């Protein structure tokens, strides 16, 4: 079931308000990403926490503007503007910071080259993932092909806030999540009208990520463990759940075609 089938959301004022809020959140997503890039270049103190917070904020705004865009029925917003902002928020920003962090690794003069390779690998995977996404139906699909770029960025944000995380671990993690992004493994998108299970998953995840974004640094580390548990569940159980959603959608389309005949 998609948002256009929910009758009480089809009122003009709801659709217009959703469109306005979606635009505001999308611009906010891009603004947070650009802020993060600038802070990375300035090498501000505790940049690892700024990175993690800004990625969490971008993830929340990206999820919210996607839902609002679908309620408003704006394909233009969902395809063009949102995708461009995501390219900054979950491509260029994390790639810049991750490249910088990896470059701190002392590898006998090769640190800058290794940092550039690590950053470019993540950037290329995220942009390829977004390009492949807009080639499909971006307004509503029950599953993603490949790991969402926002999820990949959150994985890295949970790693970097720990001061004892070695640069090699960050490099390997960025390469692993990059591989998941460009893979064809299905993952649930939660783009349609949520079921009870979907609603529980969305709300609990949103609360964790929101806390990660706004709570003090010492609490963020504990929330990182909670987010990691959700990430593991999503990586392990997500593909199977996505396949069930795909089969259910196929059955629905088949039933509709039979009724029309």
State the sign of the Cα–Cα–Cα–Cα dihedral 15, 21, 24, 28: negative
Of 14-18, 79-83, 110-114, 163-167, which range is least confident?
A: 79-83
Residue 255 in this model has a pLDDT that exceeds 70? no
pLDDT, position 243: 80
- 109-119 burial, b if ≥16 CB within 10 A, otherwise e? eeeeebbebbb
Distance (Å, whole) CA 138 – CA 64: 15
Which phi and psi angles does 5 have, rounded to 5°? -95, -5
Range of the domain at 214: 3-260
Question: Across the strands, what pairs with 187?
Answer: 144
Measuring CA to CA, how many Å separate 161 from each of 79, 168, 225? Answer: 32, 15, 11
pLDDT, position 134: 77
The residue written with tokens 């969902």 in the block is 78
pLDDT, position 1: 55
For the stretch 199-225, pLDDT in tens is 888 899 999 999 999 999 889 989 999
For the stretch 163-196, pLDDT in tens is 889 999 999 999 999 999 999 888 887 776 777 8
Of 68-77, 94-103, 244-253, the range with the highest mean pLDDT is: 94-103
Domain count, the chain: 1
Label residue 252 by pLDDT band (50, 70, 90): low
What CATH number does residue 58 fall under? 1.20.120.1760
Q: What is the pTM of this model?
A: 0.88
């Amino acid at each position: 079931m998609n948002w256009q089938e929910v009758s009480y959301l089809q009122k003009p004022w709801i659709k217009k308000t959703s469109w306005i809020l979606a635009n505001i959140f999308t611009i906010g997503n891009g603004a947070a990403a650009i802020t993060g890039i600038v802070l990375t270049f300035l090498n501000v103190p505790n940049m690892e926490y700024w990175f993690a917070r800004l990625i969490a904020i971008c993830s929340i705004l990206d999820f919210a503007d996607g839902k609002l865009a679908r309620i408003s029925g704006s394909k233009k917003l969902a395809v063009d503007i949102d995708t461009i902002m995501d390219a900054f928020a979950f491509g260029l920003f994390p790639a810049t910071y991750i490249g910088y962090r990896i470059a701190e690794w002392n590898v006998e003069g090769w640190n800058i080259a290794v940092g550039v390779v690590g950053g470019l690998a993540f950037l290329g995977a995220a942009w390829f993932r977004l390009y492949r996404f807009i080639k499909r139906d971006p307004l509503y699909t029950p599953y993603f092909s490949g790991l969402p770029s926002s999820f990949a960025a959150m994985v890295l944000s949970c790693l970097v806030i720990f001061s004892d995380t070695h640069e090699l671990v960050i490099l390997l993690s960025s390469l692993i999540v990059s591989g998941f992004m460009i893979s064809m493994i299905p993952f649930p998108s939660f783009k349609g009208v949520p079921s009870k299970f979907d609603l529980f998953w969305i709300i609990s995840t949103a609360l964790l990520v929101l806390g990660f974004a706004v709570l003090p640094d010492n609490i963020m580390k504990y929330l990182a463990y909670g987010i990691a548990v959700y990430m593991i569940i999503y990586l392990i159980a997500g593909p199977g759940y996505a396949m069930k959603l795909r089969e259910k959608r196929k059955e629905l389309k088949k039933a509709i075609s039979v009724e029309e005949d």
